[in-house]
Structure 1
Amino acid sequence: MKFQLPQFIETEIKIVGPFTLRQFLWVAAGAVFLFLDFSALSGFIAIVIAIPIIAIFGALAFVKVDDLPLISYLANMLSFIFGPKKYFYKNDQQPTTYLPTGQAGDRQQIQLKK
């Protein structure tokens, strides 16, 4: 019995037009902030505040760094910056033993010195 395997499991499905669901939600959140900006403020101040809002939400929706979405990259960066930096080495391994490959009847274990 043959089973059909999905081929493109790494690509996100386009849900709303040319946008994936994640991109659409970031663009929609940016549109909500722009609506609040222009309804609370007017004129030049609203435009000055709108430019960073468009840049931030546009970057969160469309920019990928090392094939990671920008929000995941920023979360990884913050966890690295604020996470613990001390690593302790624990040597829990036993010394490696090897069997000689000479004669088949001779099965002595030898221990290599490090």
Structure 2
Amino acid sequence: MQFPVPQFTDVEDKIIGPLTIKQFGIIFAAGTVIFLFYSATKSMLVLVFLFILIGVPALGLAFGKINGRPVYATLPVIMKYLTGAKSLVFHKEMIKLSSREVKLKNAEVGNEKQSDEPEEQGATDPQARLLKINRLLEEQAARASKLTKQLHNS
């Protein structure tokens, strides 16, 4: 049995008319605060002042977008960044090793190698290393080719 798969999973559902739940909640909360203050004072000047002070920012919060994302989704991220501790993720620093530490590390690497031949003393030259790697790869390819022929013949 086949079921339709939703294509737009990043779009919020419009629950109350053209508003999402979050937009409705923001506007409702701002409207409630404005109504309560106006009811207590019964002054048109207070109503206008509260609408400018609370209503306009609430409308911006509910309907505004920053880089295509709603302000109410972006604002917590901005606040967390501004109030949180800044951490340095990458810090490049040069590590200085003494010649004794280099020799110890080379000895450890040498013990892990499973090469048939001992490494030459002058193999630090990049060209010599590339030639050695090339030779090893050619030998491995020849062995693989030989095994393939043996499998096909048997």
Q: TM-score, normalised by structure 2?
A: 0.54
Counterpart in 1 of 2:74? 73
Letter in 2 for 1:57: A
Letter in 1 for 2:38: F
Counterpart in 1 of 2:9? 9
Q: CA deviation at 1:39?
A: 0.9
- For 2:19 and 2:54, the matched residues in 1 are separated by 19
Q: CA deviation at 1:67?
A: 2.4
Letter in 2 for 1:36: L
Q: Kindly report which structure 2 residues correspond to 1:58-97, keeping only aligned pairs within 5 A, or say none.
A: 58-89=59-90
Q: CA deviation at 1:58?
A: 0.6
Question: Which stretches in structure 2 are left out of the alignment for 5+ residues?
Answer: 93-132, 145-154
- For 2:51 and 2:66, the matched residues in 1 are separated by 24
Counterpart in 2 of 1:30? 30
Q: TM-score, normalised by structure 1?
A: 0.70
Q: CA deviation at 1:55?
A: 0.6
What secondary structure is seen at the aligned counterpart in 1 of 2:73?
A: helix
Q: 1:86 to 1:6 in 2, by over 3 A?
A: closer
Task: State the structure with bigger RCO (CA 8 A, min sep 6), 1 or 2.
Answer: 1
Q: Kindly report which structure 2 residues correspond to 1:92-103, keeping only aligned pairs within 5 A, or say none.
A: 102=138, 103=140
- For 1:89 and 1:8, the matched residues in 2 are separated by 36
Counterpart in 2 of 1:111? none
Q: 1:35 to 1:6 in 2, by over 3 A?
A: same
Q: CA deviation at 1:68?
A: 2.1
- For 1:38 and 1:83, the matched residues in 2 are separated by 37
- 8 Å Cα contact 1:27-1:61 kept in structure 2: yes
Q: 1:2 to 1:57 in 2, by over 3 A?
A: same
Aligned residues: 99
Letter in 2 for 1:15: I
Q: CA deviation at 1:88?
A: 4.8
Bigger share in strand: 1
Counterpart in 2 of 1:53? 54
